[in-house]
Structure 1
């Protein structure tokens, strides 16, 4: 198998393809949970909106606890076949079995049925997705190569999302048939894609033998200033992405009065996101990942700020909004996870451990909380403005346009302020990796304490940053 831990050489496209493949079926699983499943259980199976909402809320709260736990377990596991592969392989049957019971219920399900199997599906998804993301952060030590790795993974995620979202147009409006075909596709694709990754991509060798105690682990994490800045910016930008995602269907239907354009507009948005990935990677290699990400967010702000001025019949103008904001999406997908890998390097320098799982567990919490907050903000505010789909209310539709177009700009500008002068540049990341590699080379000849209590770890983080 190829060496995937090369410090400077670029990874081959076949290897990046093999790594990115699981993103496709994993994305296809997410669409039913947010789009098809709630309406299917509430309306066609007669469970009711309140029961379905309560079940999904309980499952999501459960998911917030399993993310950091899975991250720590993934970091701690030691097997001849690596730390990440075993969890991914174990998660596949759990996810498929739970998807079987959720997507193809044999009888009228109740509240406990929906809650339990959704929790099981979230668990299986976390067991695959979290080690998978952490593995990607460890595939290369090179600053720019990490952007390529994230771009391939997220590109497949977008393709899986588009396929799952387009399925009803191929099989009709029957939700039961849509879920059945989705399950068949996932049943075939998920094991094949995960197996291809596990067989084709190496896990870098990890020298550490122990994990840090919880208290010391948390203390080191809280001293990682760049991570706190990055995850805060990612959370704010997640809200900015979640608001238009949540309100897109409503805005197209009531703001533009162009419901028939929903599919083409969504397809345009995602296709532009994929098409823009190479451009953002090239820009990031020249000006830095954090600056490229900021420019993408500024582009999205410059586009969305015009949305409240649009109205019924302005569909072609909104198509331009979808094209330009789709270009910005490419950077939102690929660059923050690549920056996250650099932040994990700083943690490795402090903790003397490879703890990508822990960090991506916290990253997952930020992602899910941002989406939840976007829903929690948008719908109550629309209700307060008097918006109801059953009636024409110009003032309420104006409130919808403001929430869709203007509110994301505020959150994105706040995120830009946090990361514009991000401290880990390409040069600094190279120095951090050099220190880590030098220490690891010494470890093979000079025994040293491995309990996280070295003088380097006890030093003041701000002074350490200045030396880097």
Structure 2
């Protein structure tokens, strides 16, 4: 494990790939179904089936990539070889996905969506694990993840602004622009990181544990169990508003075009808040800072029903978006730094550095929370007879608001409670590093 602090330029070079990689999220999540169901004339049900089929394999792909990168041991490092191979695979997938030939069918969609999805996984999981291994110091880990995840939020913000700034309104044009921007920026940024940033290799004093002992140790890691629970609950809390925001602005506020500017406020607040959370986590600790941020988000979002019929509702909604967007900044930057400390618990017990499998498990927890959101929200709305075409009664609107802001607010407060007494603080992490050094 590296012990020397990184220079600012090294941290920046490491964090730079996060910005373009985040820019591909919008076309993959929002534009892709409409692109293939619209210009490509594919049945929407077929599109949904193919996309879901690819994501089902994440249950196998994520832990496999995480564990293989943990076991990797080359003269270039552990994480770099995976990223070097995954980058062109993901790029080919993006080109095939958004620049298909006429008449491309379900098989084409499956192959190239699989390439970009699994290529992105093979790139991102080693990338996150790499960041956890660049330093063994409590605060330095927060600096690294703050810069990287601040770049992620900025990339999301740019992906929303760039098409508007360039006057590109069609989904086809937006998909083309963002996929080319992602590849054009990610290629040099990833290459520079691979060349300029160290990828420390652990000293192996015994053969790596098999899959079963590894999973047993991961499952017995109590701080990790608490963190992954918080990650899953928070994923659901973030997924519900994301799935329902357009419906709320259309059916409750009757201002569908206002969602765009308010989302810009939300993500801008996330970017701007990152230095504040970094400073606060240095003073009071990472888990306390995340708990405070989640409590702030939960309380702020709970005010949404009270402002819906107030004068200047958009201004009030913008104020709420500032607070919840700031909470997003904490969501992105703090849990990965806590995850690096959680991995120390495993290393102290096993003598093996396995950040890859831990970040794979955390990713799966977030995906599960996000995936549960529409699976919970839309059937419940259907059960009460809610219609996206209007004419809903007070009960139906109330269920929509409960799912949009009521349940997420309660879940955010639950995350704050879960993390309030998290067992790893600065002192405990220093003790873990001392135990690891003594074992070595």
Unaligned runs of 5+ in 1: 441-468
Q: Secondary structure in 2 aligned to 1:386?
A: coil
Aligned positions of 1:223-234 closer than 5 A: 223-234=220-231
Change (3 A) 1:291 1:420: same
Give yes or no for contact 1:252–1:262 (8 Å, CA) kept in 2: yes
Aligned positions of 1:275-354 closer than 5 A: 275-311=272-308, 314-354=313-353
* Match of residue 190, structure 2, among 183, 188, 194: 194
Match of 1:110 in 2: 105
**C-alpha displacement of 1:165:** 2.1
Match of 1:182 in 2: 178
**C-alpha displacement of 1:31:** 1.3
280-289 or 351-360, which deviates more: 280-289
Give yes or no for contact 1:308–1:402 (8 Å, CA) kept in 2: no
Aligned positions of 1:418-457 closer than 5 A: 418-440=418-440
Q: Secondary structure in 2 aligned to 1:141?
A: coil
Cα deviation code 1:372-430 (max 9, x no counterpart)? 00121112122223222222314333322221111102222222222211111110000
Change (3 A) 1:76 1:362: same
**C-alpha displacement of 1:242:** 1.1
Give yes or no for contact 2:298–2:411 (8 Å, CA) kept in 1: no
159-168 or 53-62, which deviates more: 159-168
Match of 2:25 in 1: 30
Match of 1:222 in 2: 219
Cα deviation code 1:283-314 (max 9, x no counterpart)? 11121111111100100111111112232561
Name the CA distance, whole Å, in 1 between partners of 2:298 and 2:162: 31
Name the CA distance, whole Å, in 2 between partners of 1:266 and 1:417: 27
Aligned positions of 1:40-439 closer than 5 A: 40-169=35-164, 170-208=166-204, 210-311=207-308, 314-395=313-394, 396-439=396-439
Q: What TM-score does the superposition give when structure 1 sets the normalisation length?
A: 0.90
Unaligned runs of 5+ in 2: none
**C-alpha displacement of 1:26:** 1.2
Name the CA distance, whole Å, in 1 between partners of 2:103 and 2:8: 47
Q: Secondary structure in 1 aligned to 2:38?
A: helix
**C-alpha displacement of 1:439:** 2.1
Name the CA distance, whole Å, in 2 between partners of 1:179 and 1:48: 19
Give yes or no for contact 2:78–2:201 (8 Å, CA) kept in 1: no
Q: C-alpha root-mean-square deviation of aligned residues, in Å?
A: 1.5
Name the CA distance, whole Å, in 1 between partners of 2:187 and 2:356: 22
146-155 or 375-384, which deviates more: 375-384
Cα deviation code 1:213-259 (max 9, x no counterpart)? 11211111111011001101111011101111221222222222222
Name the CA distance, whole Å, in 2 between partners of 1:56 and 1:404: 25
Match of 1:462 in 2: none
Q: Secondary structure in 1 aligned to 2:260?
A: helix
Give yes or no for contact 1:63–1:119 (8 Å, CA) kept in 2: no
Q: Secondary structure in 2 aligned to 1:144?
A: helix
Q: Secondary structure in 2 aligned to 1:383?
A: helix
Cα deviation code 1:308-360 (max 9, x no counterpart)? 22325611111111011111111111111110000000100111101000101
Q: Secondary structure in 2 aligned to 1:81?
A: coil
Give yes or no for contact 1:171–1:177 (8 Å, CA) kept in 2: no
Cα deviation code 1:93-152 (max 9, x no counterpart)? 110111111011112222222122211111110111000000000011111111111111
Q: What TM-score does the superposition give when structure 2 sets the normalisation length?
A: 0.95
Give yes or no for contact 1:104–1:179 (8 Å, CA) kept in 2: no
Give yes or no for contact 2:70–2:353 (8 Å, CA) kept in 1: yes
Q: Secondary structure in 2 aligned to 1:44?
A: coil
132-141 or 280-289, which deviates more: 280-289
**C-alpha displacement of 1:6:** 2.5
Name the CA distance, whole Å, in 1 between partners of 2:167 and 2:43: 25
Number of residue equivalences: 435
Name the CA distance, whole Å, in 1 between partners of 2:70 and 2:55: 23
**C-alpha displacement of 1:199:** 1.3
Which runs of structure 1 show a deviation greater than 3 angstroms over 4 or more consecutive aligned residues? Answer: none
